Structure 1
């Protein structure tokens, strides 16, 4: 369990350092809950890879879902 928390923390740190989309094109969807739901869906569709390629996939996925 401790390892999972550490990995999650490191992943969130990396995400914070990149240009992750935080505003939706749809004003009704512009909530933290909607953002977290869409991000979780992208993370499930594109699991973490050792090379870090998953972050670019998450960004592309969020773009497709309307987050800019």
Structure 2
């Protein structure tokens, strides 16, 4: 009985951690440019595509941090 409760609590804790990390990861991607003239959807889409081409997907997920850094260099925060 105790083992079953432990497993249930472990699953809940794991799900909570995964959900929290997913939400934190989504909120870290820059979406506002410091230059008001560039702060629009078209410029954002173009800059995001350029960063995606410069840093293609990697199995380890490192490309996400690289793309965020690329967007930061372009003025997106």
Q: Give the TM-score category using the shorter length.
A: 0.7 to 0.9
TM-score, normalized by length of structure 2? 0.66
Structure number with higher relative contact order (C-alpha < 8 Å, ≥ 6 residues apart): 1
RMSD after superposition:
1.9
Is 2:45 aligned against 1:36? yes
- Structure 2 residue runs of 5 or longer lacking an equivalent are 1-21
Q: C-alpha separation between the residues in 2 aligned to 1:39 and 1:25?
A: 16
Runs of 4+ in 1 over 3 A off after TM superposition: none
Is 2:63 aligned against 1:54? yes
Shift of 1:17: 2.1
TM-score, normalized by length of structure 1? 0.74
Write 1 or 2 for the structure with the bigger share of helix: 2
Q: Per-residue CA shift, 1:10-62, capped at 9, x if unaligned?
A: xxx8xx72400000010000001100000000000000001000000000000
Aligned to 1:26: 35
Q: Secondary structure at the match of 2:33?
A: coil
> How many residues are matched?
55
- Structure 1 residue runs of 5 or longer lacking an equivalent are 1-12
